[in-house]
A = this chain, B = another copy of it.
């Protein structure tokens, strides 16, 4: 239902990367599979934009698949066209598209996190808001036949010794960059929740990811999943300079990563 204004049409016409593939089918999408690490809205709402009857495969833990199943709006992705497959909590899967293997192996591991905010159980005594194992995972992504490994961990509440050991020697880490300061949502007046309350470790501070991962040997480290309160989004900020000086890149829409 996209009908561009004349100005936008000109911009699209001038940009090579916005041209439709002349040899592709109508409504073609190159996406053959989607791996979900969490059921929060910023992880699953994008699925609704893929509702064009183009086949692909969704991989997620049982907890996340259950969220898709119980929200009827996700029926716009007809299960006859868009297959759902369960990810193990700690296991290895050769990712497939509708036509079979795509040459990528994913290893899953649970990380300290939280149930999706919109699924919280606020009953008295539910100190963890109903969080269960499988609500948040991280993944290692690598070629099926072996090769450099990238880690994708967009939500993580805490970095412990086991996680550091796991990440040591990685070619690339894309890590939870939600907040810089644990209290920045409150400090900027847009909300009350801390990073910890949302299941996200902060970049800064004694227990932050800059400090915790500082000594771990990782070739490229990239912050992803960056909240719009995070000062690193302003390239001129002290926060941006601090993370870059510590060897981190700040992800942006359209970023491509070659390993």
Q: Name A residues whose Cβ lies closer than 8 Å to a Cβ of B.
A: 1-6, 8, 11, 25-27, 41-42, 44-45, 48, 51-53, 67, 70-76, 117-119, 188-191, 225-229, 233, 250-255
Contacts and interface: CB of A to CB of B under 8 A. Distances in A.
Given A27-B190, A118-B72, A119-B72, A254 B45 contact: no
Contacts of A70: 72
B1 A42 contact: yes
Contacts of A53: 190-191
Which 8 residue pairs of A and B lie closest in terms of their CB atoms, listed nearest first?
A75-B118, A3-B252, A71-B71, A5-B252, A45-B48, A41-B76, A5-B254, A76-B118
Q: Oligomeric state, in number of copies? A: 2
Nearest to A44: B73
Contacts of A225: 1
A2 to B, nearest CB: 7
